[in-house]
Structure 1
Amino acid sequence: MLKIELLDKSHDRTQFDCGNLTLNIYLQKTARQHISKGMSRTFVLINDDNPRTILGFYTLSICEIETDYLPRKIAKQYPDQVPAVKLARLAVSMKKQNNGYGSYLIGSAVEKVILISEHVGIIGLFVDAKDDHVKKYYEQFGFISLQGNPLILFLPMQTLNKYK
């Protein structure tokens, strides 16, 4: 059975390969340090049958956004800077890509962001897409591009709350 867990020492980070060297290195060398320093949280997708093997992962952190970059309709509701959550990284093992694991990871991230919003004030979830292909992937989940930088996408709390 698939399960999402906070990354810890029991997970084998060395064997993970998503095809992106930067993401691989982050998981292998930096993610646990960021957890211990309180900078972000990295969650891993595992299967109960082999709980050490990482099938995919995502990282969440808190951020602050200038409202000038938000769509006007949303920006006018807020002061100059607003708190949010950032989906800082998301990756699926090359062996498991195109099997819906990315959607599973995003669903888990959305659940966590909704939970965060019940305890801390935030306006939504942000993500930086590395290219237009990735941008289109996030748009299917309701993410919208920011003004001036179409590769930074935003999922407002109103949309997130529809997933409850």
Structure 2
Amino acid sequence: MLRIEDLGKDHDRKHFDCGEPALNTFLQTLARQQQEKGISKTFVLVDTAQPKIILGFFSLTACEVVAEDLPPALAKKYPARAPGAKLARLAIDRSRQRRGYGQILMIEAMKKALLVADNIGIIGFFVDAKGHAARVYYEQFGFISFRERPLEMFLPLATLRQVIEAAS
């Protein structure tokens, strides 16, 4: 059975390999440090039969966005600077890719962002796509690109709620 849990000391970070050195390095050397310092929070996908093996992970952090960077129709709805939740990283181990684990993690990350919205207030969920393929992946969830920087993406709060409702 699959389970998503907080990254802990017992998880085998050393053998995780998603094919992206920067994401591997983050998980292996920085994720727990940043978690302990309150910079970001990392969650891992594990199989309860082998709970130490990380199948995939995502990290969340808070962010602040400059409204004028958003698409024009949205920019006018917000103050000059507004708070958001950010998907800082998402990765699946190479040996487990193309099995739907990314979608499982993405929906869970969105649920956690919605909890933040319901408790402290944010205008939406943000992500920096790592390339064109990643941008297309995030677009399927309703993310839209910033005006001048197409790899910086935004999921408005209303759309976030719709996606979560549809997934439930």
Give the alignment's TM-score, normalised by structure 2. Answer: 0.96
In the TM superposition, what whole-angstrom CA distance separates every residue of 1:92-135 from its partner, at most 9, and x where no partner exists?
Answer: 00000000000111000011011111111100111011111110
User: Could you say what the CA RMSD is over the residues aligned between the two structures, in angstroms?
Assistant: 0.6
The whole-number CA distance in structure 1 between the counterparts of 2:117 and 2:54 is 27
The whole-number CA distance in structure 2 between the counterparts of 1:29 and 1:93 is 16
Aligned-residue sequence identity (percent) comes to 49
Matched residue count? 164
The whole-number CA distance in structure 2 between the counterparts of 1:132 and 1:70 is 19
The whole-number CA distance in structure 2 between the counterparts of 1:72 and 1:148 is 11
Shift of 1:62: 0.1
Structure 1 segments of 4 or more deviating over 6 A? none
**Structure 1 equivalent of residue 124 of structure 2:** 124
The whole-number CA distance in structure 2 between the counterparts of 1:115 and 1:63 is 15
1:29 aligns to 2:21 (yes or no) = no
The whole-number CA distance in structure 1 between the counterparts of 2:23 and 2:7 is 15
Gaps of 5+ in 1: none
SS of residue matched to 2:153: strand
Letter in 1 for 2:91: A
The whole-number CA distance in structure 1 between the counterparts of 2:62 and 2:96 is 28
The whole-number CA distance in structure 2 between the counterparts of 1:78 and 1:124 is 11
**Structure 1 equivalent of residue 114 of structure 2:** 114
Letter in 2 for 1:41: K
**Structure 2 equivalent of residue 91 of structure 1:** 91
Letter in 2 for 1:152: E
Shift of 1:73: 1.4
The whole-number CA distance in structure 2 between the counterparts of 1:160 and 1:133 is 21
**1:149-160 → structure 2 map (5 Å cutoff):** 149-160=149-160
Shift of 1:71: 1.2
**Structure 2 equivalent of residue 52 of structure 1:** 52
Shift of 1:36: 0.3
SS of residue matched to 1:54: coil
